Amino acid sequence: MKKIIMSAALSLLGLTLSVVHADENAIRQALAKSMPSVTVESVKPSEISGLFEVTVGGNIFYVSGDGKYLIQGHLVDVAARTDLTEEKLSGTRKQAIEKLGLDKMIVFKPKISKYTVSVFTDIDCGYCRKLHSEIDQYMAEGITIQYLFFPRAGKGSDSYSKAVSVWCAADRKAALTAAKKGDKLEAKTCDNPVDQHMQLAEDFEVKGTPMIVTEKGNIFPGYLPAKQLIEALEDERNPK
């Protein structure tokens, strides 16, 4: 009897996996046809039967099994009062930043680093300039800051050109500091990751700058003084 039950269970599992695989293929094909520029990184069943979780860059969508319908939003466990999507998004953000790599960011690192944050910044944003004007305070708290550019005016704007010029400068950190002070930079062009930064910002649904992303992939929107940021990072690492 046990062998019969086990055999039936394995057959059911195999059937279920076949259906899931078929749904995944249908979703990938549908998205490839309707959104050819989108790279689907993963497709897997969501917590809701018949709805699949699709990861694209640093974002998560929900798609019907036939690929016809897409839902953009957060899935919430009402009973547990938990944002399931946000929990997973933190992981995708973390992976996306790691995949980008340090060689494509401008990094300010203290002698002893306790925490690392990635900051989407716009050279002409007032609070971005305020944050950078206090860079020594962040360094004193042991916070490494990894800058990514998000010129909110878009590609081709003056802010975009400044970001490219900073990246192409011989001393990127010095050029960024000068630009944040409002100094005029020598216009330069070269291979640069600014478009990649902007795509990542779009994937992360960045609405304004600065936007701080923690090592765990959580988001702190807006400017935070060094003392307040270190407290938030300590709370994240050691939740009460």
**Which domains, from first to last, does the chain contain?**
2-73 (3.10.450.70), 101-237 (3.40.30.10)
Q: Comparing 36-50, 103-117, 130-144, 224-238, which segment has the lowest mean pLDDT?
A: 36-50
> Is pLDDT at 17 greater than 60 in this prediction?
no
CA distances from 49 to 19, 29, 45 (A): 12, 20, 8
Q: What is the pLDDT of residues 207-235, one digit of tens each?
A: 899 999 999 999 999 999 999 999 999 99
Question: pLDDT class for 13, splitting at 50, 70, 90?
Answer: very low
CA 87 centroid distance within chain: 13
- CA–CA gap between residue 201 and residue 57 (Å, rounded): 10
What's the pLDDT tens digit per position in 65-98?
888 889 888 899 899 888 888 888 888 899 899 9
Other CB atoms within a 10 A radius of the CB of residue 31 amount to 20
Helix (H) / strand (E) containing 233 = helix 226-237
pLDDT at 150 over 90: yes
Please state the pTM of the whole predicted model.
0.78
Task: Tell me what percent of the residues of the chain surpass a pLDDT of 70.
Answer: 90
